[in-house]
Amino acid sequence: KTYPISLANGDDLEFPVRYGGSFGIPGIIDQPIIFLHSKPELKTDVKVGEPVGKSTTGTEECMIWICSEQQVAKAIDAGRATSSDFMCVQGFQIWPKEEIPSNSGILAQLVTGDLEVVDKTLVDEMWKVLSSQSKLTLDTLEKNFQTSLLAWSAGGKDDGNSSPPFVYDSTVTTSQLADDSLRYWTEAFLLGGVVSAGKYDYSSGFD
């Protein structure tokens, strides 16, 4: 779907809505709409929004900023930005907390290697790739999905020298299985039904 924002001149802009997570704020809003930007000019004099993360040293620039739809409209009305400078996201993700920080939350997944911190030198390229996505429909699903894979690759550290692991007793790589699982999830939960299942036969060898 898309999310509309009305400008002062009467124009309406439609922003493709990206999935941020299943959580919202109970009793306030189920899945809030937020906007993100990574435009340097909107982080200095104008300061549209605020950094997503706070630097512990105060010297490192946060690459991604969060802002409201009112701030988005004001920046566009003033000619300081265009709609393509912003990403619209609905919902957010919560990681459980425990007494020992390294055993919970995002930090735990960083420690185990399940997640990686994207080098800030790669953020601009990832942002550029993701900005090319359009409203998610059955017609745009394949292009949007391939674009997300390109963005994932742009932020990764794979040097291409290692052989990919395969699903047990098959010719399907684990990365292919993971990609298809993500695609089926997208179809089922964001578009209402899986339409591309059956591309691979994962049952061979699973007796």
CB of 25 closer than 8 Å to CB of 32: yes
pLDDT, mean of residues 138-151: 91
pLDDT, mean of residues 164-193: 83
**Across 32-41, 79-88, 90-99, 148-157, least confident range:** 90-99
**Across 98-107, 120-129, 148-157, least confident range:** 98-107
DSSP bridge pairs for 5:
13
- pTM higher than 0.85: no
**So what's the pLDDT on residue 193?**
73
**So what's the pLDDT on residue 202?**
43
pLDDT per position as a tens digit, 42-85: 988 778 999 987 655 554 578 899 999 999 999 999 999 999 99
Q: What is the mean pLDDT of the chain?
A: 81
Confidence of residue 109 (pLDDT cuts 50, 70, 90): confident
The DSSP element (H or E) to which 18 belongs, if any, is strand 12-19
Whether the predicted pLDDT of 161 surpasses 70: no
Among candidate residues 122, 198, 183, 98, the one with its CA nearest the CA of residue 148: 183
Whether the predicted pLDDT of 101 surpasses 70: no
Rounded distance between C-alpha atoms, residue 85 and residue 204, angstroms: 46
Rounded distance between C-alpha atoms, residue 64 and residue 39, angstroms: 8
Whether the predicted pLDDT of 132 surpasses 60: yes
